[in-house]
Structure 1
Amino acid sequence: MENRKTPLQKSIVLPLSEIKIRYMAAFFSEGEAVRKRNILLVIAHPDDESMFFSPTILYLTSQGNNVHILCMSTGNADGKGDTRKEELYQACASLKVGPEQVKILDHPDLQDGFNHIWSQSLLAEIIKKEIASQAIDLLITFDCYGVSGHQNHRDVHLGIQMLLLETPQRSIEAWELVSVSMLRKYSGPVDIWLSLLCTSCYPKQQMCCLINGHPRKSFLAMAQHESQWIWFRKLFVSFSSYTYVNVLKKIDV
């Protein structure tokens, strides 16, 4: 039987193919041959990767890039740090990132908490060492608001910003996940079109839009965080625009 697409499916497939082209152009210089990148995603807590960055991770791994994840804490605010570490490994595996490419820290000065301010210099030093050990040439992290406004998310951004300021002659790129308004944040797949519109106003070397072609994979990844998989997070993953689309902006300092 012929596999016919509905008008809605057709309207989604075309932009998706166009965005993949736009994405590749954004991460590679004009005229440069496409090459695989060593990419480091820096997050604050286990489950950040599934709740916020899954469209990015899924696309990068689908293109054969070498994706590493550096999680700056075990998420031990409720005393479940050991459990959450194992859940992160399982979630990353479902996103095609192996355990050998996931590093989770449990530093006494980098503990999970809304009121715990992390040292920017400490973060910069840790990230710098990880870049060197894994030959990283591209960083991805939160922007200055950190999607939810969580202090730890914002500190991770500031740590990377400090690192970039301290290494002006660098050969590494850094990109941030753009935070959106509350209305857009909970608009689900509707935000795909708003994201397309926003990115079209910027040069392709400065901003890119990644659509998640398999949002169910994001849902399954978040479900691996069983200790966190309660009703309001199920609703969040279902209705959050970050399940369906990521807008990344290049960090220029």
Structure 2
Amino acid sequence: MLLYAFYALLISTIGAYAFFNGRFLKTPMTKTSIVLVIAHPDDEVMFFGPTLAELTRPEHGNTVRVLCMSSGNHDGLGEVRKRELVASCRSFGIRESHVTILERDDLKDGPKELWDPSLVGDQMNLYAKKHNIETIITFDEKGVSAHTNHIACYVGLTYFIHTFKERTPVKTCYVLKSISLLRKYISILDLPFTMLMTEALMPLFSQLTGFGGAAALVGGQNSTTNRINLRPLELLFVSSPKAIVQAKGAMEKHESQMVWFRKLYVLFSRYMSVNELRRVM
């Protein structure tokens, strides 16, 4: 019985993967400025690889930046990890000038370090204004791995939204959805479960029927079709084989972090091939 269940899951995964690889679900983010806010060097690829692989595709015309709240200096490797982050981002076509790494005593790396939400939110606000950012992406309230610093990025984003919503160039904010431990480590086999539970497919339904699944982006207007640009309630990014190889190559740039359990993570983590984002603004 378990064998039949595995075969059914495998077949459904292949079908779902073919759906996304055929690019039936197009990204709604094009020609916009985006910042990925992370807590440590390597977060950008360990958790957000599929998101970066999709949003940095040249045909989308996006400007993608990375704001890292710490240098990851918990083990005294901060300077090494800074260089690794720049190299990793370069694998996604993000140039060094678009990578910002904060080095502050009040934003130290460490699972016991509690970051002030107002400080994190203020940094997001300053960065958004400086670079005219339209979309912020970061962790959700569970931080994927429950790391205190990851969660602080979400809490800081919440502060940012509540405090600066009416006076910022940012129009939308998305957070990476955390999932159960079992789903987290079944790699691409989680895709059928994700498709059953996500609202990310609603924009496709909306295009076909004209109902539901998306919200208008303020000020977004497509002059050629005279239709309002949409920002869905959820986004689902599924990497192609080429993008998965790209992400693995980016992770290898973090040489100082490639201990045995991270090598296993690269092989089995669903976040290396599937990202589901939830809109919070």
1:54 — aligned with what?
Answer: 49
In the alignment, what sits opposite 1:127?
124
**1:209 is the counterpart of 2:236:** yes
Report Cα offsets for 1:66-112 as digits up to 9, x if no partner: 00000000000000000000000000001111101000011000010
Partner of 2:276: 247
Match of 2:87, SS? helix
Q: What is the alpha-carbon distance in structure 2 between the residues aligned to residue 43 and residue 55 of structure 1?
A: 15
In the alignment, does 2:170 pair up with 1:143? no
- Cα distance in 2 for residues equivalent to 1:48 and 1:19: 28
Q: Is the 8 A contact 1:19 1:211 kept in 2?
A: no
Does the CA-based 8 Å contact 1:73-1:110 persist in structure 2? yes
For residues 24 and 186 of structure 2, the distance between their equivalents in structure 1, rounded to whole angstroms, comes to 20
For residue 200 of structure 1, report the CA deviation from its aligned partner.
4.1
Cα separation, 1, equivalents of 2:33 and 2:153 = 19
Q: Deviations over 1:164-207 (max 9, x none)?
A: 00124255210000000001000101012211222148634211
TM-fit CA distance, 1:18: 4.7
Q: 8 Å contact 1:192–1:244 — kept in the other structure?
A: no
Please give the alpha-carbon distance, in whole angstroms, between the structure 1 residues aligned to 2:160 and 2:131: 16
Measure how far apart 1:212 and its partner are. 0.8
- 1:14 deviates by 2.4
Aligned to 1:88: 85
| CA deviation vs aligned residue, 1:39-69 (integer Å, no higher than 9, x gap) | 0100000000010001000100002310000
Inter-CA distance 71–11: structure 2 relative to 1 (3 Å threshold): closer
What CA distance in whole angstroms lies between the structure 1 residues aligned with 2:158 and 2:24? 27
Query: Residues 16 and 192 of structure 2 are in contact (CA less than 8 Å); yes or no, is this contact kept in structure 1?
Result: no
Pairing of 1:1-253 with structure 2 (within 5 A): 12-18=17-23, 20-21=25-26, 23-24=27-28, 27=29, 35-62=30-57, 63-169=60-166, 171-200=170-199, 203-204=213-214, 205-213=232-240, 214-252=243-281
- Over 3 Å counting, the alpha-carbon distance change for 1:19 and 1:84 in structure 2 is farther
> In 2 relative to 1, CA 19–102 (structure 1 residues): closer, same or farther, beyond 3 Å?
farther
SS in 2 for 1:174: strand
- SS at 2:45's partner residue? helix
CA contact (8 A) 2:68 2:102 kept: yes
Q: What SS does the aligned partner of 1:144 have? A: coil
- Normalized against structure 1, the TM-score is what? 0.88
Instruction: Please tell me whether the aligned partners of residues 16 and 191 of structure 2 are also in contact (alpha carbons under 8 angstroms).
Output: no
Partner AA of 2:52 in structure 1: I
Give the structure-2-normalised TM-score.
Answer: 0.80
Question: Cα RMSD (Å) of the superposition?
Answer: 1.8
* Larger-gyration structure (1/2): 2
The whole-number CA distance in structure 1 between the counterparts of 2:78 and 2:20 is 40
CA distance in 1, matches of 2:108, 2:124: 16
Q: How far apart in 2 are the matches of 1:52 and 1:11? A: 21
Question: Equivalents in 1 of 2:174, 2:72: separation in Å?
Answer: 24
